[in-house]
Amino acid sequence: MDISRLSHQGRSLQIFLLSLLLLWLLCGRASHAQKDVLFMHGILSGAQEFDYFTTLINEYRPGTRVHAIKMYEELSSIIPLWDQVAAIRDEFGPILTNTSSDGVILVSYSQGGIISRGILQSMKHNVETFISLSGPLAGQFGDTYYLRFFFPLFLKDNIYRLFYSDIGQDTSVGNYWNDPHHQDLYRNFSNYLGLLNNETFFVNPQSKEFRQNFLRVKNVVLIGGPDDGVITPWQSSHFGVYDANETVQPMEKQKFYQTDAFGLKTLNEAGRLHIHTVPNITHTHWHKTEMIFEKFVLPWL
Ligand SMILES: *[C@@H]1O[C@H](CO)[C@@H](O)[C@H](O)[C@H]1NC(C)=O
Ligand SMILES: *[C@@H]1O[C@H](CO)[C@@H](O)[C@H](O)[C@H]1NC(C)=O
Ligand SMILES: *[C@@H]1O[C@H](CO)[C@@H](O)[C@H](O)[C@H]1NC(C)=O
Ligand SMILES: *[C@@H]1O[C@H](CO)[C@@H](O)[C@H](O)[C@H]1NC(C)=O
Ligand SMILES: *[C@@H]1O[C@H](CO)[C@@H](O)[C@H](O)[C@H]1NC(C)=O
């Protein structure tokens, strides 16, 4: 046996294995680099809300294409949601429908969550994962700073008079106002949340399409918690709704769930719905907390 020949072979093998490892690492990196993350901001705010998470993505998953949606910021966040959804679809359609991307991930905060529902239900997108940070996904019924900001003359108990009218539906908040004491009016007027949930008296001719579109998402991740302080009830972030006694009834008790009106039940039964309750996070901190990013966003990137 020629020892030097053997060690030479050994070295070749070593170099070969090292090259393989390097190639694997490079490909691994490259595959991460081909994902797209879209961020949709909340009411009375803008794309900069996601500056912190963008920094974290650049750090943990360098090369990921991050797109913070810089539309309908600040005061224009009150514009009716179908208008916002249509314009966002136009602007970000090529990314939302990209079949070559290694994964399109839509991350939304607060009102951005209900806007995202509109996008995901109304187009043939290619979004793989939808992550909602404290979104009023099943509506809002509460006196919060933004209600007082836009509608200082109203209280939550009487604002249905405005919101459940054609004029009221010309505001984003009216579009997802869900007053448990005036459900007949809600079903007669809510042309956004009511349509998304297929619970209006008037018929949505596209309800089946809306459902098929929503089911294109592989995984839906819902994050919310009892110390939120703005989304009311906070369980709306998990599709919970107040009943007529203002007791929160969970998603499973809702007709839209039981009839699988937009695919929520299908997603849940297939293990594609991931619901997380996180205490001690106030509304403005969901997107500013590293733990939230690490536990609930990073695993999907
Ligand atoms: C779609 O993804 C591919 C592969 O990552 C990329 O080259 C292309 O630029 C993307 N298209 C858009 C519109 O983002
Ligand atoms: C629904 O709205 C129509 C007008 O758009 C009105 O005629 C009807 O009375 C309303 N019904 C309820 C239950 O509010
Ligand atoms: C509300 O509470 C009352 C009294 O506790 C009860 O009779 C009624 O059935 C409740 N309504 C709903 C919708 O749960
Ligand atoms: C939506 O509701 C209507 C009745 O109001 C029903 O005919 C239709 O099948 C529902 N769509 C879906 C997707 O469940
Ligand atoms: C709640 O959050 C505050 C502020 O982030 C922190 O100082 C405190 O330790 C937290 N409390 C618990 C019980 O996690």
The Cα–Cα gap between 87 and 241 comes to: 29
* Closest listed ligand to the CA of 281: 5
Give the SS3 label for residue 274. Answer: strand
pLDDT at 23 over 90: no
Ligand 1 site, residue 99, Cβ cutoff 6 A: no
Give the gyration radius of the chain's Cα atoms.
23
Q: Return phi, psi of residue 91, to 5°.
A: -70, -40
Going by their DSSP bridges, the two strands 241-242 and 248-249 should be labelled as antiparallel
- Cβ pair 104, 38 in contact under 8 A: yes
Beta-carbon contacts of 267 under 8 Å, excluding residues fewer than 6 positions away, are: 215, 217, 220, 273
Q: Helix, strand, coil proportions of the chain in percent (round to 5)?
A: 50, 15, 40
Provide the percentage of residues in the chain whose pLDDT is more than 70: 90
Write the residue with the smallest CA distance to atom 5 of ligand 2. Answer: 188
- Cβ pair 96, 120 in contact under 8 A: no
Ligand 4 site, residue 205, Cβ cutoff 6 A: no
pTM for the model stands at 0.89
The Cα–Cα gap between 95 and 101 comes to: 8
Ligand 2 site, residue 184, Cβ cutoff 6 A: yes
Catalytic annotation present for 32 = no
User: Would you give the DSSP letter of residue 295?
Assistant: I
> Residue 143's pLDDT is what?
84
| 243-270: average pLDDT | 98
- Cβ pair 204, 195 in contact under 8 A: yes
pLDDT at 31 over 80: no
How many angstroms does the Cα of residue 188 sit away from the middle of ligand 2?
6
- Catalytic member of 77, 110, 122, 190: 110
**231 or 15: which carries more pLDDT confidence?**
231
How many angstroms does the Cα of residue 245 sit away from the middle of ligand 3?
6
Confidence of residue 60 (pLDDT cuts 50, 70, 90): very high
pLDDT at 25 over 80: no
Catalytic annotation present for 228 = yes
pLDDT at 153 over 90: no
**Length of the chain, in residues:** 301
| 238-266: average pLDDT | 98
- Cβ pair 266, 260 in contact under 8 A: yes
The atom number, within ligand 2, closest to the CA of 184 reads 13
pLDDT at 38 over 80: yes
Number of H helices, E strands in the chain: 13, 8
How many angstroms does the Cα of residue 53 sit away from the middle of ligand 1?
22
> Furthest-apart CA pair in the chain: how many Å?
95
| 178-186: average pLDDT | 98
pLDDT at 101 over 70: yes
Write the residue with the smallest CA distance to atom 14 of ligand 3. Answer: 245
Ligand 1 site, residue 98, Cβ cutoff 6 A: yes
Catalytic annotation present for 283 = yes
> Residue 3's pLDDT is what?
53
Please tell me the least confidently modeled range out of 3-17, 79-93, 249-263: 3-17
| 89-113: average pLDDT | 97
| Domain 34-300 sits in CATH 3.40.50.1820 | yes
Tokens of 41: 């901001």
DSSP 199-252: --SS--TTHHHHHHHHTT-SEEEEEE-TT--SSSSGGGGGT-EE-TTS-EE-GG
- Catalytic member of 228, 236, 237, 238: 228
